[in-house]
Structure 1
Amino acid sequence: MTADRTRHPLDEAALRAAATGPAGWRTLDVVAETGSTNADLVARVAAGQDIAWNVLVAESQIAGRGRNGRTWSAVPRAQISMSVGVPTAGLPAAAWGWVPLITGLAVVDAVAEVTGVDVGLKWPNDVLAVHDGRKLAGILAEVASPAAAIVVGVGVNVSLGTDELPESTATSLRVLGADDADRGELVLALLRQLRRRVDGLTAAGGADAGLVADYVGRSLTISSRVRATLPGEREVVGEAVSIDDQGRLRIDTGGEVTVVSAGDIVHLRPV
Protein backbone atom coordinates (compact mmCIF):
# COMPACT_ATOMS: atom_id res chain seq x y z
CA MET A 1 0.00 0.00 0.00
CA THR A 2 1.24 3.49 -0.81
CA ALA A 3 2.26 5.51 2.27
CA ASP A 4 0.58 8.92 2.11
CA ARG A 5 1.08 11.95 4.28
CA THR A 6 -2.12 13.47 2.86
CA ARG A 7 -4.42 10.78 4.28
CA HIS A 8 -5.31 12.68 7.41
CA PRO A 9 -8.90 12.62 8.69
CA LEU A 10 -11.31 15.23 7.38
CA ASP A 11 -12.02 18.14 9.72
CA GLU A 12 -15.77 17.67 10.15
CA ALA A 13 -16.36 20.90 12.06
CA ALA A 14 -14.49 23.02 9.52
CA LEU A 15 -16.22 21.34 6.58
CA ARG A 16 -19.64 21.77 8.21
CA ALA A 17 -19.04 25.44 8.90
CA ALA A 18 -17.96 26.13 5.34
CA ALA A 19 -20.59 23.94 3.65
CA THR A 20 -23.54 25.26 5.67
CA GLY A 21 -22.39 28.84 5.29
CA PRO A 22 -21.13 30.17 1.96
CA ALA A 23 -21.65 26.89 0.07
CA GLY A 24 -25.37 26.86 0.89
CA TRP A 25 -25.90 23.33 2.22
CA ARG A 26 -28.09 22.58 5.26
CA THR A 27 -26.18 19.83 7.09
CA LEU A 28 -22.88 17.97 6.70
CA ASP A 29 -21.81 14.84 8.54
CA VAL A 30 -18.59 12.84 8.31
CA VAL A 31 -18.58 9.18 9.38
CA ALA A 32 -15.54 6.96 9.82
CA GLU A 33 -17.05 4.03 7.93
CA THR A 34 -20.29 3.00 6.31
CA GLY A 35 -21.55 0.53 3.77
CA SER A 36 -22.91 3.09 1.32
CA THR A 37 -23.50 6.81 1.79
CA ASN A 38 -26.27 6.67 -0.82
CA ALA A 39 -28.02 3.86 1.05
CA ASP A 40 -27.72 5.84 4.28
CA LEU A 41 -29.43 8.91 2.82
CA VAL A 42 -32.12 6.78 1.17
CA ALA A 43 -32.76 5.20 4.59
CA ARG A 44 -33.16 8.66 6.12
CA VAL A 45 -35.88 9.42 3.59
CA ALA A 46 -37.63 6.12 4.33
CA ALA A 47 -37.58 7.09 8.02
CA GLY A 48 -39.35 10.34 7.23
CA GLN A 49 -36.38 12.70 7.38
CA ASP A 50 -35.92 15.67 5.07
CA ILE A 51 -32.60 15.23 3.28
CA ALA A 52 -32.75 18.37 1.14
CA TRP A 53 -29.26 19.88 1.00
CA ASN A 54 -27.86 17.19 3.34
CA VAL A 55 -24.27 16.03 2.84
CA LEU A 56 -22.87 12.72 4.09
CA VAL A 57 -19.16 11.95 3.71
CA ALA A 58 -17.49 8.65 4.64
CA GLU A 59 -13.80 8.24 5.37
CA SER A 60 -14.23 4.60 4.31
CA GLN A 61 -17.05 3.09 2.27
CA ILE A 62 -17.12 -0.70 2.25
CA ALA A 63 -20.13 -1.42 0.05
CA GLY A 64 -20.36 1.46 -2.38
CA ARG A 65 -22.82 1.09 -5.22
CA GLY A 66 -22.53 1.94 -8.87
CA ARG A 67 -24.92 1.63 -11.76
CA ASN A 68 -26.43 -1.76 -12.60
CA GLY A 69 -25.84 -3.07 -9.07
CA ARG A 70 -22.05 -2.89 -9.22
CA THR A 71 -20.28 -2.68 -5.86
CA TRP A 72 -16.90 -1.39 -4.78
CA SER A 73 -14.95 -0.59 -1.61
CA ALA A 74 -12.88 2.49 -0.89
CA VAL A 75 -9.37 2.70 0.53
CA PRO A 76 -9.75 4.62 3.82
CA ARG A 77 -9.10 8.38 3.46
CA ALA A 78 -7.76 7.97 -0.09
CA GLN A 79 -10.97 8.94 -1.88
CA ILE A 80 -13.95 11.21 -1.63
CA SER A 81 -16.98 9.05 -0.84
CA MET A 82 -19.93 11.42 -0.51
CA SER A 83 -23.67 11.57 -1.05
CA VAL A 84 -25.95 14.60 -1.08
CA GLY A 85 -29.67 15.21 -1.03
CA VAL A 86 -30.91 17.36 -3.90
CA PRO A 87 -34.45 18.73 -3.44
CA THR A 88 -36.88 18.44 -6.32
CA ALA A 89 -39.16 21.32 -5.28
CA GLY A 90 -39.44 23.68 -8.23
CA LEU A 91 -37.55 21.31 -10.52
CA PRO A 92 -39.70 19.75 -13.28
CA ALA A 93 -39.53 15.94 -13.36
CA ALA A 94 -38.37 16.14 -16.99
CA ALA A 95 -35.21 17.88 -15.76
CA TRP A 96 -34.31 15.32 -13.08
CA GLY A 97 -32.13 13.44 -15.56
CA TRP A 98 -29.82 16.45 -15.59
CA VAL A 99 -28.96 16.11 -11.89
CA PRO A 100 -26.22 13.47 -12.37
CA LEU A 101 -24.94 15.40 -15.40
CA ILE A 102 -24.56 18.67 -13.50
CA THR A 103 -22.90 16.70 -10.69
CA GLY A 104 -20.34 15.59 -13.26
CA LEU A 105 -19.84 19.22 -14.27
CA ALA A 106 -19.34 20.11 -10.61
CA VAL A 107 -16.67 17.41 -10.24
CA VAL A 108 -14.82 18.54 -13.37
CA ASP A 109 -14.86 22.18 -12.29
CA ALA A 110 -13.89 21.39 -8.68
CA VAL A 111 -10.95 19.24 -9.78
CA ALA A 112 -9.74 22.00 -12.11
CA GLU A 113 -10.16 24.63 -9.38
CA VAL A 114 -8.27 22.75 -6.68
CA THR A 115 -5.67 20.77 -8.64
CA GLY A 116 -5.55 22.09 -12.21
CA VAL A 117 -5.95 18.52 -13.51
CA ASP A 118 -7.74 18.33 -16.87
CA VAL A 119 -10.66 15.89 -16.80
CA GLY A 120 -13.83 15.49 -18.85
CA LEU A 121 -17.22 13.79 -18.89
CA LYS A 122 -18.26 10.45 -20.28
CA TRP A 123 -22.04 10.23 -20.55
CA PRO A 124 -23.91 9.60 -18.36
CA ASN A 125 -21.94 9.72 -15.14
CA ASP A 126 -18.18 9.10 -15.33
CA VAL A 127 -15.35 11.60 -15.03
CA LEU A 128 -12.30 10.62 -17.11
CA ALA A 129 -8.76 11.85 -17.52
CA VAL A 130 -8.60 13.71 -20.82
CA HIS A 131 -5.23 12.36 -21.95
CA ASP A 132 -5.91 8.61 -21.57
CA GLY A 133 -9.61 8.14 -20.83
CA ARG A 134 -9.09 6.44 -17.46
CA LYS A 135 -11.82 6.87 -14.86
CA LEU A 136 -11.24 9.32 -12.02
CA ALA A 137 -14.74 9.58 -10.57
CA GLY A 138 -18.17 7.99 -10.73
CA ILE A 139 -21.63 9.29 -9.93
CA LEU A 140 -24.84 7.49 -8.95
CA ALA A 141 -28.18 9.29 -8.68
CA GLU A 142 -31.38 7.71 -7.43
CA VAL A 143 -34.81 9.01 -6.45
CA ALA A 144 -35.68 8.27 -2.82
CA SER A 145 -39.24 7.58 -1.72
CA PRO A 146 -41.75 8.30 -0.32
CA ALA A 147 -40.44 11.88 -0.55
CA ALA A 148 -39.36 12.97 -4.02
CA ALA A 149 -35.72 13.67 -3.21
CA ILE A 150 -32.74 12.85 -5.39
CA VAL A 151 -29.77 11.20 -3.68
CA VAL A 152 -26.53 11.73 -5.57
CA GLY A 153 -23.40 9.77 -4.69
CA VAL A 154 -19.94 10.84 -5.81
CA GLY A 155 -16.73 8.84 -5.60
CA VAL A 156 -13.43 10.50 -6.53
CA ASN A 157 -10.05 8.75 -6.45
CA VAL A 158 -7.69 11.17 -4.72
CA SER A 159 -4.44 9.69 -3.34
CA LEU A 160 -4.63 6.11 -4.62
CA GLY A 161 -1.34 4.85 -6.00
CA THR A 162 -1.17 2.68 -9.10
CA ASP A 163 -1.00 -0.41 -6.87
CA GLU A 164 -4.24 0.56 -5.11
CA LEU A 165 -6.47 1.34 -8.08
CA PRO A 166 -9.44 -1.02 -8.37
CA GLU A 167 -8.85 -1.78 -12.06
CA SER A 168 -6.57 -0.92 -14.95
CA THR A 169 -9.11 1.52 -16.42
CA ALA A 170 -9.08 3.67 -13.27
CA THR A 171 -6.87 6.58 -12.29
CA SER A 172 -6.47 9.01 -9.40
CA LEU A 173 -5.46 12.61 -8.84
CA ARG A 174 -2.13 11.33 -7.51
CA VAL A 175 -1.50 9.33 -10.69
CA LEU A 176 -2.46 12.41 -12.71
CA GLY A 177 0.19 14.48 -10.95
CA ALA A 178 -1.77 16.11 -8.10
CA ASP A 179 0.23 14.49 -5.28
CA ASP A 180 -0.92 16.88 -2.58
CA ALA A 181 -4.61 17.19 -3.45
CA ASP A 182 -6.55 18.02 -0.29
CA ARG A 183 -9.79 16.08 0.14
CA GLY A 184 -11.39 18.78 2.28
CA GLU A 185 -10.74 21.46 -0.32
CA LEU A 186 -12.11 19.19 -3.03
CA VAL A 187 -15.28 18.43 -1.04
CA LEU A 188 -16.00 22.12 -0.48
CA ALA A 189 -15.24 23.08 -4.09
CA LEU A 190 -17.50 20.29 -5.32
CA LEU A 191 -20.33 21.37 -3.01
CA ARG A 192 -20.03 25.01 -4.11
CA GLN A 193 -20.09 24.05 -7.76
CA LEU A 194 -22.98 21.62 -7.34
CA ARG A 195 -25.13 24.06 -5.37
CA ARG A 196 -24.58 26.65 -8.10
CA ARG A 197 -25.56 24.18 -10.81
CA VAL A 198 -28.67 22.94 -8.99
CA ASP A 199 -29.83 26.49 -8.31
CA GLY A 200 -29.32 27.37 -11.97
CA LEU A 201 -31.18 24.28 -13.18
CA THR A 202 -34.09 25.04 -10.85
CA ALA A 203 -34.24 28.74 -11.69
CA ALA A 204 -34.33 27.97 -15.43
CA GLY A 205 -36.92 25.22 -14.98
CA GLY A 206 -34.58 22.78 -16.71
CA ALA A 207 -31.53 22.83 -18.94
CA ASP A 208 -31.03 26.12 -20.74
CA ALA A 209 -28.71 26.76 -23.67
CA GLY A 210 -25.87 27.86 -21.40
CA LEU A 211 -25.96 24.65 -19.37
CA VAL A 212 -26.07 22.47 -22.48
CA ALA A 213 -23.10 24.38 -23.92
CA ASP A 214 -21.16 23.94 -20.65
CA TYR A 215 -21.82 20.21 -20.67
CA VAL A 216 -20.91 19.75 -24.34
CA GLY A 217 -17.72 21.76 -23.79
CA ARG A 218 -16.59 19.30 -21.12
CA SER A 219 -17.92 16.15 -22.78
CA LEU A 220 -15.60 13.47 -24.10
CA THR A 221 -18.58 11.58 -25.53
CA ILE A 222 -20.14 14.16 -27.83
CA SER A 223 -18.66 13.86 -31.35
CA SER A 224 -17.21 10.43 -30.53
CA ARG A 225 -18.21 7.17 -32.15
CA VAL A 226 -19.82 5.10 -29.41
CA ARG A 227 -21.46 1.80 -28.66
CA ALA A 228 -24.40 1.98 -26.25
CA THR A 229 -25.51 -1.20 -24.50
CA LEU A 230 -29.12 -0.62 -23.51
CA PRO A 231 -31.40 -2.46 -21.07
CA GLY A 232 -32.25 -5.83 -22.57
CA GLU A 233 -28.73 -6.11 -24.07
CA ARG A 234 -29.72 -4.16 -27.17
CA GLU A 235 -26.81 -2.28 -28.76
CA VAL A 236 -26.72 1.00 -30.65
CA VAL A 237 -23.60 2.08 -32.53
CA GLY A 238 -23.07 5.51 -34.04
CA GLU A 239 -21.84 9.04 -33.42
CA ALA A 240 -22.92 10.79 -30.22
CA VAL A 241 -24.18 14.07 -31.58
CA SER A 242 -25.85 15.93 -28.69
CA ILE A 243 -27.65 15.95 -25.35
CA ASP A 244 -31.37 16.74 -25.28
CA ASP A 245 -33.29 18.88 -22.76
CA GLN A 246 -33.80 15.84 -20.49
CA GLY A 247 -30.11 14.97 -20.40
CA ARG A 248 -30.48 12.03 -22.79
CA LEU A 249 -27.77 11.14 -25.30
CA ARG A 250 -28.63 11.39 -29.00
CA ILE A 251 -26.76 8.90 -31.21
CA ASP A 252 -26.73 9.15 -35.00
CA THR A 253 -26.59 5.58 -36.31
CA GLY A 254 -26.40 6.69 -39.93
CA GLY A 255 -30.02 6.07 -40.78
CA GLU A 256 -31.68 7.63 -37.75
CA VAL A 257 -31.02 9.34 -34.43
CA THR A 258 -31.60 7.17 -31.37
CA VAL A 259 -32.25 8.82 -28.02
CA VAL A 260 -30.66 6.96 -25.10
CA SER A 261 -31.83 7.61 -21.53
CA ALA A 262 -29.81 4.86 -19.82
CA GLY A 263 -27.07 2.45 -20.81
CA ASP A 264 -23.38 1.66 -20.79
CA ILE A 265 -21.35 3.69 -23.26
CA VAL A 266 -18.07 2.63 -24.87
CA HIS A 267 -16.02 5.16 -26.81
CA LEU A 268 -14.96 3.45 -30.03
CA ARG A 269 -12.21 5.87 -30.94
CA PRO A 270 -9.72 7.77 -28.78
CA VAL A 271 -11.20 10.70 -26.86
Structure 2
Amino acid sequence: MSPELRTALDVAALRSNVAAPWQRIDVVAETGSTNADLLARAAAGADIAGTVLLTEFQSSGRGRHGRSWSAAPRSQIAMSVGVGTQGVPTDAWGWLPLLTGVAVVDALAVACPAVPAGLKWPNDVLVGTGKLAGILAEVAAPSPQIVVGLGLNVSLTSQEAPDPRATSLTQHGADVDRTELACGILNALGTRIGAWRAAGGADEALVRDYRAHSLTLGTEVRATLPGDRAVVGTATDIDRFGRLLIDDGTTTVTVAAGDITHLRPADTA
Protein backbone atom coordinates (compact mmCIF):
# COMPACT_ATOMS: atom_id res chain seq x y z
CA MET A 1 0.00 0.00 0.00
CA SER A 2 1.40 3.41 -0.93
CA PRO A 3 1.67 6.20 1.67
CA GLU A 4 -0.78 8.30 -0.37
CA LEU A 5 -3.52 5.78 0.39
CA ARG A 6 -2.85 5.87 4.12
CA THR A 7 -4.46 8.60 6.22
CA ALA A 8 -2.19 10.97 8.13
CA LEU A 9 -2.43 11.25 11.89
CA ASP A 10 -4.71 14.08 13.04
CA VAL A 11 -2.76 15.99 15.68
CA ALA A 12 -5.73 18.25 16.50
CA ALA A 13 -7.91 15.22 17.24
CA LEU A 14 -5.16 13.69 19.35
CA ARG A 15 -4.82 16.85 21.42
CA SER A 16 -8.60 17.10 21.86
CA ASN A 17 -9.28 13.49 22.79
CA VAL A 18 -6.31 12.49 24.93
CA ALA A 19 -6.53 13.12 28.66
CA ALA A 20 -3.97 13.71 31.42
CA PRO A 21 -1.17 13.03 32.13
CA TRP A 22 -0.35 13.82 28.50
CA GLN A 23 0.29 17.57 28.28
CA ARG A 24 2.10 18.02 24.98
CA ILE A 25 1.39 15.98 21.83
CA ASP A 26 3.30 16.49 18.60
CA VAL A 27 3.36 14.66 15.26
CA VAL A 28 6.31 14.96 12.90
CA ALA A 29 6.48 13.73 9.32
CA GLU A 30 9.78 11.92 9.77
CA THR A 31 12.49 11.39 12.34
CA GLY A 32 15.24 8.93 13.10
CA SER A 33 13.82 7.71 16.40
CA THR A 34 11.12 9.21 18.61
CA ASN A 35 12.81 7.65 21.64
CA ALA A 36 16.13 9.26 20.72
CA ASP A 37 14.42 12.62 20.22
CA LEU A 38 12.84 12.62 23.69
CA LEU A 39 16.05 11.37 25.30
CA ALA A 40 17.90 14.26 23.65
CA ARG A 41 15.37 16.75 25.01
CA ALA A 42 15.83 15.35 28.51
CA ALA A 43 19.62 15.47 28.17
CA ALA A 44 19.30 19.14 27.25
CA GLY A 45 17.43 19.80 30.51
CA ALA A 46 13.81 19.64 29.34
CA ASP A 47 11.06 18.18 31.50
CA ILE A 48 9.62 15.52 29.19
CA ALA A 49 7.11 14.03 31.62
CA GLY A 50 3.71 14.05 29.92
CA THR A 51 5.20 14.61 26.45
CA VAL A 52 4.05 12.51 23.50
CA LEU A 53 5.91 12.42 20.18
CA LEU A 54 4.53 10.54 17.17
CA THR A 55 5.97 10.25 13.69
CA GLU A 56 4.64 9.14 10.33
CA PHE A 57 7.98 7.55 9.44
CA GLN A 58 10.83 6.44 11.65
CA SER A 59 14.06 5.88 9.72
CA SER A 60 16.20 4.58 12.60
CA GLY A 61 13.73 2.85 14.88
CA ARG A 62 15.28 0.70 17.59
CA GLY A 63 14.28 -2.29 19.62
CA ARG A 64 15.94 -3.89 22.63
CA HIS A 65 19.72 -4.36 22.41
CA GLY A 66 19.89 -1.86 19.54
CA ARG A 67 18.02 -4.04 17.05
CA SER A 68 16.89 -1.92 14.11
CA TRP A 69 13.33 -1.68 12.84
CA SER A 70 11.70 0.25 10.02
CA ALA A 71 8.25 0.33 8.44
CA ALA A 72 6.57 2.05 5.52
CA PRO A 73 5.35 5.65 6.14
CA ARG A 74 1.95 5.86 7.86
CA SER A 75 1.77 2.07 8.27
CA GLN A 76 2.43 2.15 12.03
CA ILE A 77 1.68 3.98 15.22
CA ALA A 78 5.25 4.97 16.07
CA MET A 79 5.41 7.05 19.23
CA SER A 80 7.29 7.73 22.43
CA VAL A 81 6.10 9.17 25.72
CA GLY A 82 7.92 10.72 28.65
CA VAL A 83 7.08 9.39 32.11
CA GLY A 84 8.09 11.01 35.38
CA THR A 85 9.22 8.62 38.10
CA GLN A 86 9.00 10.77 41.21
CA GLY A 87 7.76 8.73 44.15
CA VAL A 88 8.21 5.38 42.41
CA PRO A 89 11.12 3.20 43.58
CA THR A 90 13.65 2.33 40.89
CA ASP A 91 13.01 -1.38 41.33
CA ALA A 92 9.43 -0.80 40.15
CA TRP A 93 10.44 0.93 36.90
CA GLY A 94 10.65 -2.44 35.15
CA TRP A 95 6.86 -2.54 35.11
CA LEU A 96 6.62 0.39 32.67
CA PRO A 97 7.12 -1.61 29.45
CA LEU A 98 4.85 -4.34 30.82
CA LEU A 99 2.03 -1.95 31.70
CA THR A 100 2.44 -0.32 28.28
CA GLY A 101 1.77 -3.70 26.71
CA VAL A 102 -1.32 -4.13 28.86
CA ALA A 103 -2.55 -0.68 27.79
CA VAL A 104 -2.06 -1.58 24.12
CA VAL A 105 -4.03 -4.80 24.51
CA ASP A 106 -6.74 -2.89 26.42
CA ALA A 107 -7.05 -0.39 23.55
CA LEU A 108 -7.03 -3.10 20.88
CA ALA A 109 -9.83 -4.95 22.66
CA VAL A 110 -11.99 -1.86 22.13
CA ALA A 111 -10.84 -0.87 18.64
CA CYS A 112 -10.64 -4.33 17.05
CA PRO A 113 -12.01 -6.99 19.41
CA ALA A 114 -11.72 -9.72 16.78
CA VAL A 115 -7.90 -9.49 16.87
CA PRO A 116 -6.67 -11.77 19.69
CA ALA A 117 -3.63 -9.80 20.87
CA GLY A 118 -1.54 -10.99 23.80
CA LEU A 119 1.76 -10.23 25.50
CA LYS A 120 5.14 -11.89 25.18
CA TRP A 121 7.35 -10.99 28.11
CA PRO A 122 8.96 -8.51 28.34
CA ASN A 123 8.16 -6.15 25.48
CA ASP A 124 6.19 -7.58 22.56
CA VAL A 125 2.52 -7.61 21.60
CA LEU A 126 1.71 -10.70 19.54
CA VAL A 127 -1.15 -12.12 17.53
CA GLY A 128 -0.48 -15.83 17.51
CA THR A 129 3.24 -16.03 16.80
CA GLY A 130 3.32 -12.80 14.77
CA LYS A 131 4.80 -9.65 16.27
CA LEU A 132 2.23 -6.85 16.19
CA ALA A 133 4.08 -4.31 18.34
CA GLY A 134 7.34 -3.75 20.16
CA ILE A 135 7.98 -1.63 23.25
CA LEU A 136 11.24 -0.05 24.36
CA ALA A 137 11.74 1.76 27.70
CA GLU A 138 14.89 3.81 28.30
CA VAL A 139 15.95 5.88 31.29
CA ALA A 140 16.62 9.52 30.44
CA ALA A 141 19.68 11.21 31.94
CA PRO A 142 20.30 13.17 34.07
CA SER A 143 16.76 13.50 35.47
CA PRO A 144 14.69 10.54 36.74
CA GLN A 145 12.44 10.29 33.68
CA ILE A 146 11.74 7.33 31.41
CA VAL A 147 11.02 7.32 27.70
CA VAL A 148 8.69 4.55 26.56
CA GLY A 149 8.54 3.89 22.82
CA LEU A 150 5.93 1.91 20.90
CA GLY A 151 5.87 0.68 17.32
CA LEU A 152 2.50 -0.87 16.43
CA ASN A 153 1.90 -2.26 12.94
CA VAL A 154 -1.45 -1.04 11.67
CA SER A 155 -1.57 -1.39 7.86
CA LEU A 156 1.84 -2.91 7.22
CA THR A 157 1.60 -5.56 4.49
CA SER A 158 3.54 -8.82 4.49
CA GLN A 159 5.52 -7.53 1.49
CA GLU A 160 6.52 -4.39 3.41
CA ALA A 161 7.45 -6.12 6.65
CA PRO A 162 11.18 -6.03 7.42
CA ASP A 163 10.89 -9.30 9.32
CA PRO A 164 8.79 -12.35 8.33
CA ARG A 165 7.65 -12.67 11.95
CA ALA A 166 5.96 -9.26 11.83
CA THR A 167 2.23 -8.95 11.46
CA SER A 168 -0.29 -6.08 11.42
CA LEU A 169 -3.90 -5.31 12.20
CA THR A 170 -4.70 -5.17 8.48
CA GLN A 171 -3.28 -8.66 8.00
CA HIS A 172 -5.80 -9.86 10.59
CA GLY A 173 -8.75 -8.19 8.87
CA ALA A 174 -8.99 -5.11 11.10
CA ASP A 175 -9.56 -1.72 9.46
CA VAL A 176 -8.81 0.87 12.12
CA ASP A 177 -8.15 4.60 12.14
CA ARG A 178 -4.64 5.26 13.46
CA THR A 179 -5.62 8.50 15.16
CA GLU A 180 -8.50 6.90 17.04
CA LEU A 181 -6.36 3.93 18.02
CA ALA A 182 -3.52 6.19 19.20
CA CYS A 183 -6.01 8.11 21.36
CA GLY A 184 -7.25 4.86 22.87
CA ILE A 185 -3.72 3.66 23.60
CA LEU A 186 -2.65 6.95 25.17
CA ASN A 187 -5.72 7.14 27.39
CA ALA A 188 -5.35 3.52 28.50
CA LEU A 189 -1.64 4.09 29.10
CA GLY A 190 -2.31 7.24 31.11
CA THR A 191 -4.72 5.34 33.36
CA ARG A 192 -2.25 2.51 33.92
CA ILE A 193 0.61 4.90 34.66
CA GLY A 194 -1.54 6.84 37.12
CA ALA A 195 -2.32 3.64 39.04
CA TRP A 196 1.35 2.56 38.90
CA ARG A 197 2.46 5.89 40.30
CA ALA A 198 -0.19 5.89 43.04
CA ALA A 199 0.78 2.37 44.11
CA GLY A 200 4.52 3.04 43.88
CA GLY A 201 4.77 0.10 41.50
CA ALA A 202 2.49 -2.58 40.11
CA ASP A 203 -1.02 -2.36 41.54
CA GLU A 204 -3.15 -5.47 42.00
CA ALA A 205 -5.21 -4.84 38.85
CA LEU A 206 -2.10 -4.46 36.70
CA VAL A 207 -0.60 -7.73 37.90
CA ARG A 208 -3.92 -9.54 37.38
CA ASP A 209 -4.44 -8.12 33.90
CA TYR A 210 -0.86 -8.76 32.83
CA ARG A 211 -1.19 -12.41 33.82
CA ALA A 212 -4.49 -12.65 31.94
CA HIS A 213 -2.98 -11.21 28.74
CA SER A 214 0.32 -13.09 28.94
CA LEU A 215 1.18 -15.56 26.19
CA THR A 216 4.41 -16.47 28.02
CA LEU A 217 3.20 -17.67 31.41
CA GLY A 218 2.53 -21.37 31.51
CA THR A 219 4.66 -22.14 28.46
CA GLU A 220 8.03 -23.83 28.04
CA VAL A 221 10.65 -21.19 27.24
CA ARG A 222 14.33 -20.79 26.53
CA ALA A 223 15.84 -17.59 27.96
CA THR A 224 19.19 -16.69 26.43
CA LEU A 225 21.37 -14.63 28.73
CA PRO A 226 24.66 -12.81 28.08
CA GLY A 227 27.51 -15.20 27.31
CA ASP A 228 25.05 -17.54 25.53
CA ARG A 229 23.98 -19.01 28.87
CA ALA A 230 20.48 -20.46 28.56
CA VAL A 231 17.72 -21.15 31.07
CA VAL A 232 15.11 -23.64 29.87
CA GLY A 233 11.92 -24.36 31.75
CA THR A 234 8.34 -23.33 32.45
CA ALA A 235 7.54 -19.62 32.75
CA THR A 236 5.49 -19.67 35.93
CA ASP A 237 4.88 -16.08 36.99
CA ILE A 238 5.94 -12.44 37.12
CA ASP A 239 7.37 -11.14 40.39
CA ARG A 240 6.64 -7.78 42.01
CA PHE A 241 9.49 -6.16 40.05
CA GLY A 242 8.18 -7.37 36.67
CA ARG A 243 10.81 -10.10 36.37
CA LEU A 244 10.02 -13.48 34.82
CA LEU A 245 10.16 -16.62 36.96
CA ILE A 246 11.26 -19.79 35.17
CA ASP A 247 11.06 -23.24 36.77
CA ASP A 248 13.87 -25.31 35.22
CA GLY A 249 12.82 -28.47 37.02
CA THR A 250 15.35 -27.99 39.79
CA THR A 251 14.88 -24.43 40.96
CA THR A 252 13.10 -21.21 40.06
CA VAL A 253 15.28 -18.79 38.13
CA THR A 254 14.48 -15.08 38.16
CA VAL A 255 15.18 -13.30 34.88
CA ALA A 256 15.17 -9.50 34.48
CA ALA A 257 14.34 -7.89 31.15
CA GLY A 258 17.66 -6.05 31.07
CA ASP A 259 19.57 -9.32 31.44
CA ILE A 260 17.92 -11.29 28.65
CA THR A 261 19.04 -11.42 25.03
CA HIS A 262 16.22 -13.60 23.65
CA LEU A 263 13.15 -15.36 24.99
CA ARG A 264 11.81 -18.07 22.72
CA PRO A 265 9.77 -21.27 22.97
CA ALA A 266 11.86 -24.04 24.51
CA ASP A 267 11.78 -26.11 21.32
CA THR A 268 13.36 -23.26 19.29
CA ALA A 269 17.08 -23.59 18.73
Q: Which residue of 2 aligns with 1:52?
A: 49
Question: Would the aligned equivalents of 2:235 and 2:247 in 1 still touch at CA under 8 Å?
Answer: yes
Question: For the residues of structure 2 that align with 1:68 and 1:101, how far apart are their CA atoms?
Answer: 17
2:220 counterpart (210, 220, 225): 225
- Alpha-carbon offset, residue 209 of structure 1: 2.9
Question: Would the aligned equivalents of 1:224 and 1:269 in 2 still touch at CA under 8 Å?
Answer: no
- Alpha-carbon offset, residue 12 of structure 1: 1.2
Task: From the superposition, tell whether residues 23 and 173 of structure 1 become closer, same or farther in structure 2 (CA, over 3 Å).
Answer: farther
Q: Which residue of 1 aligns with 2:142?
A: 146
Which runs of structure 1 show a deviation greater than 6 angstroms over 4 or more consecutive aligned residues?
Answer: none
- Within a 5 Å distance, the mapping from 1:166-245 to structure 2 comes to 166-178=162-174, 180-245=175-240
Q: Which residue of 1 aligns with 2:151?
A: 155
Question: For the residues of structure 1 that align with 2:45 and 2:163, how far apart are their CA atoms?
Answer: 38
Question: Would the aligned equivalents of 1:23 and 1:188 in 2 still touch at CA under 8 Å?
Answer: no
Question: For the residues of structure 2 that align with 1:210 and 1:112, how far apart are their CA atoms?
Answer: 17
Question: For the residues of structure 1 that align with 2:219 and 2:139, how far apart are their CA atoms?
Answer: 30
Question: For the residues of structure 2 that align with 1:244 and 1:5, how far apart are their CA atoms?
Answer: 46
> Secondary structure of 2:7's match?
coil
- Alpha-carbon offset, residue 35 of structure 1: 0.1
Question: For the residues of structure 1 that align with 2:250 and 2:109, how far apart are their CA atoms?
Answer: 39
Compute the RMSD of aligned alpha carbons. 1.5
Question: For the residues of structure 2 that align with 1:136 and 1:27, how far apart are their CA atoms?
Answer: 26
- Alpha-carbon offset, residue 107 of structure 1: 0.8
1:226-247 per-residue CA deviation (whole Å, 9 max, x = no partner) reads 0001122211000000000000
TM superposition score normalised by structure 1: 0.94
Task: From the superposition, tell whether residues 59 and 41 of structure 1 become closer, same or farther in structure 2 (CA, over 3 Å).
Answer: same
Question: For the residues of structure 1 that align with 2:123 and 2:224, how far apart are their CA atoms?
Answer: 15
Task: From the superposition, tell whether residues 158 and 6 of structure 1 become closer, same or farther in structure 2 (CA, over 3 Å).
Answer: farther
- Alpha-carbon offset, residue 7 of structure 1: 1.0
Q: Which residue of 2 aligns with 1:246?
A: 241
- Within a 5 Å distance, the mapping from 1:101-140 to structure 2 comes to 101-116=98-113, 117-129=115-127, 132-140=128-136
Question: For the residues of structure 2 that align with 1:56 and 1:37, how far apart are their CA atoms?
Answer: 6
2:62 counterpart (59, 65, 78): 65
- Check if 1:15 corresponds to 2:10: no
Question: For the residues of structure 2 that align with 1:163 and 1:183, how far apart are their CA atoms?
Answer: 20
Question: For the residues of structure 1 that align with 2:226 and 2:182, how far apart are their CA atoms?
Answer: 33
> Secondary structure of 1:147's match?
coil
- Alpha-carbon offset, residue 196 of structure 1: 0.6
- Within a 5 Å distance, the mapping from 1:68-79 to structure 2 comes to 68-79=65-76
Question: For the residues of structure 2 that align with 1:269 and 1:71, how far apart are their CA atoms?
Answer: 26
Question: For the residues of structure 2 that align with 1:173 and 1:14, how far apart are their CA atoms?
Answer: 22
1:132-189 per-residue CA deviation (whole Å, 9 max, x = no partner) reads 31100000000000011000000000001121112211100000110x2110011110
Residue correspondences, number: 264
Question: For the residues of structure 1 that align with 2:66 and 2:231, how far apart are their CA atoms?
Answer: 22
Question: For the residues of structure 1 that align with 2:163 and 2:200, how far apart are their CA atoms?
Answer: 39
Question: For the residues of structure 1 that align with 2:58 and 2:71, how far apart are their CA atoms?
Answer: 5
Structure 1 letter corresponding to 2:11 = E
| Range moving further from structure 2, 188-197 or 204-213 | 204-213
* Structure 1: unaligned runs, 5 residues or longer: none
TM superposition score normalised by structure 2: 0.95
